[in-house]
Amino acid sequence: MTKSIEASLSRYQLSEFDSAWGAVQRGIEKESLRVSPEGSISLRPHPDSLGSALTNRYITTDFSESLLEFITPANTDIDECLGMLENIHRFTMQNLEQDELLWVASMPCPLQSDAEIPLAQYGSSNIGRMKTLYRSGLHHRYGSLMQVISGLHYNFSMPESFWQPFREICGSEESLQDFRTSRYLHLIRNFHRFSWLLVYLFGASPAACKCFVQGREHSLEEFDDRSLYLPNATCLRMGRLGYKSEAQKSLFVCYNELGSYVECLHNAIHTPYPAYEELGQKQGDEYLQINTNLLQLENEFYSTIRPKRNVASGTRPLDGLMNEGIEYIEVRALDLNPYLPLGIDAEQVRFLDSFLLHCLLSDSPECNKDEFFEVANNLTLVVEQGRDPELELKREGKALKLRDWAGALVEDIEHSAALLDKSHGTSAYSNSVAAQMAKVKDSELTPSGQILKDMEEGQLSFFDFSMENSRKIRDYFQQGDLDQATVSRFMAAGERSIEMQEEIEEADEISFDDYLTAWNEG
């Protein structure tokens, strides 16, 4: 049932929620593998028609030449944001070669070995070579299979008009920059406590190709002769076979204040790690990794959410955060939904906004080491067993059924949805919350539940299921045309990106050896 505005204001101890405060900014980054018409990873280089992966603001690559990443600008209008993402998809599909497809699943297509996965290339500049070397380090440290798992990153920030009045409501005497930063950390702490809910509701990777676990210990069960799965899994991408690192397992990253967060990551970037020292920075004249420390860069730290700030090229992200504070947060726990052309839709976006606003406005006690690892264990349980109706999680050391906790949490999120509904003169946010409550009551309505049901009923392997949906979505994008202004916009962005890469390459004044030494000493 939709909450009243009065009840919602009372829930968050607010005297008001101005309509302008609902104009949240969001941007989406979406990864997708390029695959052949037969479903094998593309070994072709990044298409020239898509511009430079180093400098194109809309279309780049992630770990591999084959792993495309689409980037929308930040937008206060959900339909415009998704419309931009659709236009980027359609333009890309029109410029892929040899009938290539975009793989719609988060877990990758069949792969025989790491050698099949080409590292992303960014040209001959020092910064371009550094980006490729970072990926080489990831390959040597974790293997390339893990790095071509695809996902969605959701960037979220509150409007500028929100912060000063909210600071006054909270009675804070911090500077506006420090207040904004502390409240985003407040959001992040709550996000960690509750991120298992997003994994349950939107996880869409309950199965994988058998080749994905070659040479690795695992607890997956055989679905058929080509697929592995867990019967109640939600999001294997976020589990032990996905974005997990044994080296980082014991790393306690605290989000109580910015200085401790930055210090923790700074120390990890400058602390040698025996296994990586044994590997070595170089083999002969060839660099293998940026350095032999626990983390090569900040981005190597795997987390479901990150505090972010836009910084100038060449500026270290941690320096930007310390100097200017947190500007927005990046949610990194989202699978691609293989049933949706974009991997995400407006209903999910509205729930994400409601969820994140709830995390921002609710009380958020400081985290401690016990809770940090309790939260991590909850996430692992939901990844592997989330649709088990008897599954129990831990909250402050006490066992609680997932279904009961999820129901109470979704009902609580109705309060933030009501505030956003009022801001936008709609009921769409409350409707998005109601749709998630239905999934809490019936786990077969979740994407992971639907996927396994369709695989079982259609007697489809994970590969066959993914190919079938990849072709459907290719057909969807081939049905519509882009207007000429949009085509011209993307073409101009691609052409300008090539010019920018050339300018960067020409501007280098030191050797790559000296550049890398200076970076590691910084």
Q: How many CB atoms lie within 10 A of CB 332?
A: 18
Average pLDDT of the residues in 21-26: 98
Q: What pLDDT is recorded for position 277?
A: 96
Burial zone of 438 (CB within 10 Å; 0-12 exposed, 13-18 middle, 19+ buried): exposed
* 3-state class (DSSP) for residue 77: coil
Mean pLDDT over 235-244 rounds to: 76
Has residue 218 got a pLDDT over 90?
Answer: no
pLDDT over threshold 60, residue 57: yes
Report yes or no: 253 and 265 within 8 Å, Cβ to Cβ.
Answer: yes
Q: Identify the burial level of 521 via C-beta atoms within 10 angstroms of its C-beta, where 0-12 means exposed, 13-18 middle and 19 or more buried.
A: exposed
- For the ranges 66-75, 266-275, 346-355, the lowest mean pLDDT is seen at 266-275
Q: Give the model's pLDDT for residue 283.
A: 94
Residue 513 to residue 157: CA distance in whole angstroms? 38
Tell me the β-bridge partners of 59: 70
Give the whole-number percent of the chain exceeding pLDDT 90.
86
Q: How confident is the model at residue 1 (pLDDT cuts 50, 70, 90)?
A: low
pLDDT at residue 182 in the model: 97
> Is residue 103 within 8 Å of 35, Cβ to Cβ?
yes
Q: Note whether 199 and 376 are within 8 A (CB).
A: no
**Who contacts 100 (Cβ-Cβ below 8 Å, separation ≥6)?**
34, 35, 36, 37, 42, 44
CATH code that applies to domain 5-352+364-517: 3.30.590.20
Give the burial class of 389: count Cβ atoms within 10 A of its Cβ; 0-12 exposed, 13-18 middle, 19 or more buried. exposed
| Residue showing tokens 């809309």 | 58
φ/ψ of 345, rounded to 5, equals -140, 180
For residues 55 and 504, the answer to whether their CB atoms sit within 8 Å is yes
Give the tens place of pLDDT for each residue, 287-328: 999 999 999 999 999 889 999 999 887 678 899 999 999 999
In this predicted structure, the answer to whether residue 214 has a pLDDT above a threshold of 80 is: no
The pLDDT, as a whole number, for residue 244 is 56
Cβ atoms < 10 Å from Cβ of 330: 16
State the chain's mean pLDDT as an integer.
Answer: 94
Q: Determine the 3-state secondary structure of 76 from DSSP.
A: coil
Q: What is the token pair recorded at 458? A: 């259609």
Model's pTM, two decimal places? 0.96
pLDDT at 423: 97
| 467-519 tens-digit pLDDT | 999 999 999 998 888 999 999 999 999 999 999 999 999 999 999 999 999 99
**Among 276-285, 323-332, 367-376, the least confident range:** 367-376
Cα–Cα distance list, 360 to 141, 166, 400 (Å) = 35, 11, 24
Which residue has 């009961």 as its token pair?
404
Per-residue pLDDT, averaged over 207-223, amounts to 87
How far is Cα 469 from Cα 476, in angstroms, rounded to an integer?
10
* Per-residue pLDDT, 111: 83
Residues 498-512: pLDDT tens digits? 999 999 999 999 999
Q: Please tell me the predicted confidence (pLDDT) of residue 250.
A: 67
SS3 3: coil
CA 186 to chain CA centroid, Å, is: 20
Q: What pLDDT score was predicted for residue 2?
A: 79
CA 227 from chain centre, in angstroms, equals 25
pLDDT surpasses 60 at 371: yes
| Torsion angle in degrees (nearest 10) through CA of 104, 107, 109, 113 | 150
- Residue spans of the domains in the chain: they are 5-352+364-517
